[in-house]
Amino acid sequence: MRRFSHSLLPGRRLPTILENSINRFCDNNMDTFIFATNQIISSIAFGVLLWLGLFTGLFYSLFRKAINKEKIDFFDTNLVFRFIFFVYYGIPSLYYFFIPPAVDDFRQVTLNMVLVLAILGLIFFDLGRKIAIHQQWQRFFESSEIDEQKVAKLTVIFFVIALLSFIIFIFSVGGLNSYIQNWGKTGDLTKGKMYLLWGVLLSKLAFLVNFAFHLKGKKTLAPFLLYALGGISFLLIMLIGARLLIIVYILECLILYHYLKKEIPVKKLLIAALVIFIVFIVLMGEVRNHTWFQDMSLLEQIKTRLGDFSNYIYLLVNNYFDSVRNTIIILENTPSRFSYEWGRTYLDLLVRPIPYMFRPDIVKNSEILLATFQGRILPLLGELYLNFSLAGIVIGTFFLGLFAKASSFFLRFNKANISAVLLYATLVAVTMMWVRGQFANHTPLFLMDFIGFFVFIKLSQKSAKG
């Protein structure tokens, strides 16, 4: 007993043994903890939990309203954001749990990180919507009468400009036949010609203004002439080949009908969405792709590509709904391979008015997204992260929520005003485009519509003496 006491208690050996034992225990357990944590956050099971959290956050309030049988406005900017956000981030991420994305050295942990960013973005979007909107923001338009003769004159002017712009555009790309044969290369063929495309879009603005007043019983044009001009406008934009412009055109028509004539039931909205998807995403996509499959007929190409249905879905998700895929690439390569842009992709908006041949190429999407072809765009979350890391996600989605709240209030307090509903249609459209991504590409399209509507409406109002 004395030897035991002498050897252990008075000396330093006991503390040393305890310290070493504790250190070994902590090190071993910390290594185990870190390993277990990495295994968890890298697992598909954790990804599924994140996905369920995202889905719940997106649609909990909608389900609650449906259960309580409350009125739901599916064209509210808040719901538009949530549905489009789910289409671009919810559906692809769920698909990637079963089929990995078209990304080299794909890691499940990066997909899980995308879902974390999506949840973070949704949280700050909702926080942005909590901000109180000042009363001055609410009532923007006073009721005003329009001069039907002025509307008719402006309609003629806008359509003449649109037709001339289309003719000049077609001649600049080698003729209509040559352009249609190269429909799949519209991105290259339209470079430097945005001002001509804006000219063509004036036909849409003229039609929508007349269509809006027609829905409220104001006969600015004879019905036959109105719908004939609408058909011509739709055909011109269709021939350009930019599907986004066509989908936005249809969306704006639906919004005008919904608020100015009769609310569209959700079943009909779902049918409309399905038709748009089949016609303009699937079929028109195959027509554009025919540029690369000219060794077979268009019908044979469609049968061949859609015949391998699983592969077609894979191509569809990775090419048309590629926000998750592109965000994964950005997360994997920023800042290890590509440095943060610190706002440069947004500054690209400032150089848009400069002619293409003189415009500096600020950011090349194809390099950042490791793309082998044009058409890849920077997704909402990916672009925010690429510029400002996590701070970009927080600030960007917060202001998007604030924008959605302001847009909803703008409509609520101006719902009886035709002009305000026209402008609100552009706010819904740009919300959809911003969720898709590429802020600098889509904002000019919004400004063209918004300013065009505003100018047309102001010029068509009756004078004070009238």
Percent over 70 (pLDDT), the chain: 79
Helix (H) or strand (E) holding 244: helix 243-260
Contact predicate 80/432, CB 8 Å: yes
The predicted structure's pLDDT at residue 34 = 57
Contact predicate 246/277, CB 8 Å: no
Instruction: Provide the whole-model pTM.
Output: 0.85
Q: Could you give the 3-state DSSP secondary structure of residue 141?
A: coil
Contact predicate 221/208, CB 8 Å: no
Average model confidence (pLDDT) for the chain? 82
> 218 versus 252: which is more confidently predicted?
252
What average pLDDT score do residues 183-191 get?
67
CA distance 401 to 133: 12
Let me know the angle formed at the C-alpha of 228 by 226 and 232, rounded to the nearest 5 degrees: 120
What average pLDDT score do residues 317-331 get?
90
Query: Would you kindly state where each structural domain of the chain is located, as residue ranges?
Result: 143-308+334-375+418-423+436-459
Q: Is the pLDDT of residue 174 over 90?
A: no
Q: Is the pLDDT of residue 204 over 90?
A: yes
The predicted structure's pLDDT at residue 370 = 59
Contact predicate 109/41, CB 8 Å: yes
Q: Is the pLDDT of residue 140 over 60?
A: no
Helical pair 108-129 and 77-85, crossing angle rounded to 10 deg: 180
In sequence order, what are the beta bridge partners of 461?
Answer: 146
What average pLDDT score do residues 377-391 get?
91
The predicted structure's pLDDT at residue 5 = 45
Q: Which residues contact 346 (CB under 8 A, 6 or more apart)?
A: 387, 439, 440
Closest C-alpha among 159, 317, 326, 132 to residue 230:
159
What average pLDDT score do residues 409-433 get?
89
The predicted structure's pLDDT at residue 398 = 96
What average pLDDT score do residues 268-278 get?
93
Contact predicate 376/406, CB 8 Å: no
> 387 versus 103: which is more confidently predicted?
387
Q: Is the pLDDT of residue 6 over 70?
A: no
